Amino acid sequence: MKKWLYSLFAVPFVLFGCGDDEVETLETAEVPAFVEVQIQTEEQLNVGEVQLAARVTQDEEVVNDAQEVKFEVWESGFRDEGDMLDGQLTEDGIYVAEYTFDHDGVYYMFAHTTARGMHVMPKKKLIVGKPDMSKVVEDTSSDSMEHGSSDEKEQVEKEEEHGH
């Protein structure tokens, strides 16, 4: 997560850090293309074992060296009880993890991807089986950078900031 922040903050220095005589360099400088992540898991799934999959590309080229692809899955309204799975590279920039849905429901998944110094995290809604929509709990969790694994650390950092 830190790396992601650094790369974000480093950009202004690259853009504004050079003198006037370097404007041409700026225009022709190679800005790294954004990493793109496409969740390939179908929206409609059956109860049982399912393959969660995401394809990582950069500038139309497959990315087989992603530092981390983590799948976060949770039932709508119960993100706290969700799971985090490590995606494994198969081929052509496709990272997968097996996950078992044991009952019908509406679920959500994030593909938390760290690659080439960037963090991308697409989200997708999954419908497993035939859930009774009147009983589905609305999901109010945020789309922010709260990562199950680093929540505690982020919390500490926030508290420190507020202490000043």
The contact set with Cu ion (CB under 5 A) reads: 112, 121
Cα gap 82→75, rounded to integer Å: 7
The residues facing 52 across adjacent strands are 97
Cβ proximity to Cu ion, 45 vs 54, nearer residue:
54
CB of 112 to Cu ion, least distance (A): 3
Instruction: Return the structure tokens found at 61.
Output: 């080229």
Strand duo 61-62 + 68-75: pairing? unpaired
Cβ proximity to Cu ion, 145 vs 156, nearer residue:
145
How many DSSP H helices and E strands does the chain contain? 3, 11
Cβ proximity to Cu ion, 79 vs 112, nearer residue:
112
CB of 141 to Cu ion, least distance (A): 13
CB of 2 to Cu ion, least distance (A): 13
- Residue that is written with structure tokens 């830190």 in the block: 2
Cβ proximity to Cu ion, 84 vs 127, nearer residue:
84
Cβ proximity to Cu ion, 55 vs 112, nearer residue:
112
33 residue type, one letter: A
> Using the 8-state DSSP alphabet, how is residue 164 labeled?
-
CB of 13 to Cu ion, least distance (A): 24
Pick the closest to residue 40 from 103, 143, 106, 126 (CA basis): 126
Cα gap 108→112, rounded to integer Å: 13
